[in-house]
Amino acid sequence: MVGIAKSFQLKDAVDILIIGLLIYGAIKLVRETRAGQLVKGLLLLVLLFFISSNLHLVMVNQMLYYVFQFALVAILIVFQPEIRKALEQMGRSSNMSRSIADAVGARDKDSEKQRMRKAINSIVDGVGILQQLKMGALIVFERKTKLGDIIETGTQINCEPSGQIVGNIFFNKAPLHDGAMIIRDGMIHAAGCILPLTKNASVSAELGTRHRAALGVSEESDAVAVVVSEETGQISVAVNGVLARRFTRDTLRDVLESYLIPQEEKTSTVSRGLSFLLGKRTVKK
């Protein structure tokens, strides 16, 4: 023990820290996704392998040997969405993008904030129109994770948002009303887009396709999705795989600002928005 302590260096501590973080990330990924059941199955196979080895069960050992050979490839194929999500979360947690953003001039930041605030107000106005007309909507605000593959499934528009435009797009006889609207950089970038549905089997059966699509895109990206129910006019918001419901137009505006306007200058709104989300009835992963 004394010899180990004397030879212990800073690089050893860094080595242990990195391994610990990797193990923590793997455990978190397993607990929060369907990979948990796979790990239980693999542990059972490992236990069976040790038992068969001690009992010298040749055929069982040989079969398990081939299973383990192909297990890694099978895991990469079957759990590609979960692995992709984990890598995207690692990328979003990086400070690199924040450092680049800090280098941008204050004028550009103010312009971006004004454009996003205008977009939020327009979307809220459009949601109010749709509520009165008893028409549904699905609106997705793109953030750091680009949604190019989803945008390609719809029709690109590239126009400034307004309540009237939102109402026209989601009018129930309009050609694009069934898909999702994508907001990028404060602009209506596309409409009629197809979103991935949630893979969460525990989601309430009362939720329709729009709500499941909102959950799906929020599970696979950091996007903020707004849903207006066609049946009830109820407003819901999905973020990070969690769906919060029963928003009013005012509270919808607050929550959208808390997520979409730079947080360092909106700390009070952030706290209000997050506490509101936590206090709502939610559908979790």
| Spatial distance between the Cα atoms of 146 and 144, rounded to a whole number of angstroms | 6
What is the distance between the alpha carbons of residues 162 and 119, in angstroms, rounded to a whole number?
7
pLDDT tens for the chain, residues 1 to 285: 556 666 777 887 888 888 888 777 777 666 655 566 667 777 888 888 888 888 888 888 888 888 888 877 877 777 776 677 667 666 655 544 444 445 445 556 778 888 999 999 999 999 999 999 989 999 999 998 889 889 999 999 999 999 999 999 999 889 999 999 999 999 999 999 999 999 888 888 888 999 999 999 999 889 999 999 999 999 999 999 999 999 999 999 999 999 998 765 444 444 545 444 544 545 544
* Each residue's pLDDT tens digit, 211-231: 999 999 999 889 999 999 999
Give the β-pairing of 187-193 and 235-239: unpaired
- Report in angstroms the alpha-carbon separations of 114 from 64, 138, 185: 61, 23, 11
pLDDT at 167: 94
Domains delineated in the chain? 2-92 (no CATH), 106-283 (3.40.1700.10)
Q: Are strands 155-159 and 224-228 parallel, antiparallel or unpaired?
A: unpaired
Q: Give me the pLDDT at residue 100, please.
A: 45
Contacts of 82 (CB under 8 A, 6+ apart): 29, 33, 34, 35
- The pTM of this model reads 0.65
